[in-house]
Amino acid sequence: MACFKQTAVFLVCLLTLGGCVAPQPKTSADLNTQEDILLKSKNYTGLINLYRGWLKDKDEPGIRLKLSRYYYQAGDYKSSLYYLQPLSTKADLNVYTLQAQNMIALGDYSQAIRVTDRMLQHDSQNAEAWNLRGIALALSGKLQEGGQAIQKSRDLFIADDVAINNLAMVALLDRRYQDAVSLLLPQYLRGRRQPRLLHNLVLALVKVGDTRYARDIIQSESLSDYPNELIDALERTGPLQKGVA
C-alpha cells in the first residue's frame, strides 16, 4: 500500500494547502509584506484569502490577475479562469498566458490553442505563446507540430530548462524514450533538479532498460522509499497517452 501511494505521488504531483488566516492588510505595503511571508511558505490558501479580501474592496486588474494566478498555482484551475473572465475583454499577454495554462491543465487543448493564436496575433515572437501552443498541440496528439512549436519557443530564447523538458515530454508521448534520456540526462548532470525533470528522466531511463541508473537517481534524490517497487510499477506503466495531461 505504501509503495502504491508513492507511485501515485510520483506520477501526479499534488499540492497540499494549509495555513492560518492573517488579518486583512490596510495598505498596499501591508499587502506586499503579507504576500512575501505567504510566498516563502508557499501558502497558496493564505495568498488566495489575502487577495480575495483585497479584491472585495478594490477590484483592480492587477489584483484580480494575482488572485487568478494563485488559484492556478493552488491547482484550482476553474476558479482561476472564473476570476480571469472580466479581464479577457482586453488584449493582455499576461491574461492570455494564464488562461492557456489553465486550459491545458484542464485538458481543454483546443481552447488553449485558440488562446495562443490570440497571443501570437498580438506578438508573433512571443516565446511563451509558442511554448504553450506546443504543449497543447502535443497533448492533443499533434506531436510533430507540438515539437516544432516548442523548438520555436527555444529559438526565441525561452528558458532552456523549460524547452528541453517540454521537448522530452513530446519524446515520451511519442515513445522515443532514448531521445528523452538524451535531452534530460545532460541537464541532470549539470545540476538541474526540478521535480518534473527528475520524474521524466527516471521514467525514460526505466523505459530504455537502464534501471540501475534510474534506481541511483531515485535514491540520491529521495524520490521514493521503495525504489525497486517504484521501478517495477514504472516498467508496467503503458505508453503515455496522447491527448492526456
Higher-pLDDT residue of 203 and 28 is 203
Amino acid identity, position 50: L
Each domain of the chain, given as residue ranges in start order, spans 39-192
Least confident of 18-32, 96-110, 152-166: 18-32
Closest C-alpha among 239, 235, 234 to residue 175: 239
Q: Which of 140-149, 167-176, 230-239 has the lowest mean pLDDT?
A: 230-239
Query: How much is the pLDDT for 140?
Result: 97
pLDDT band at 143 (very low <50, low <70, confident <90, very high): very high
Could you tell me the three cell numbers for 163?
A: 524547452
In eight-state DSSP terms, residue 90 is S
Looking at residue 85, the DSSP 8-state letter turns out to be G
Distance CA 153, CA 204 (A): 23
- Please, what is the average pLDDT of the chain? 90
237 pLDDT band (50/70/90 cuts)? confident
pLDDT of residue 4: 55
- With a cut of 50, say whether residue 21 has pLDDT above it: no
For residue 2, the 8-state DSSP code is: H
Whether pLDDT at 244 is above 60: no
CATH number assigned to the domain with residue range 39-192, chosen from the 4 options 3.40.50.150, 1.25.40.10, 1.10.3720.10, 3.30.1490.20: 1.25.40.10
Residue 64 confidence (pLDDT): 97
pLDDT at position 24 is 73
d(CA 111, CA 91): 16
Whose cell is 504553450? That residue is 132
Res 19: pLDDT: 41
State how far the Cα of 3 lies from the Cα of 225, in Å rounded to an integer.
Answer: 8
At which residue does the C-alpha cell 489553465 appear? 102
Confidence of residue 245 (pLDDT cuts 50, 70, 90): very low
Q: According to the model, what pLDDT value does residue 13 have? A: 40
Q: What single-letter amino acid sits at 68?
A: S
pLDDT tens digits, one per residue of 177-230: 999 999 999 999 999 999 999 999 999 999 999 999 999 999 999 999 999 999
pLDDT at residue 14, as a whole number: 37
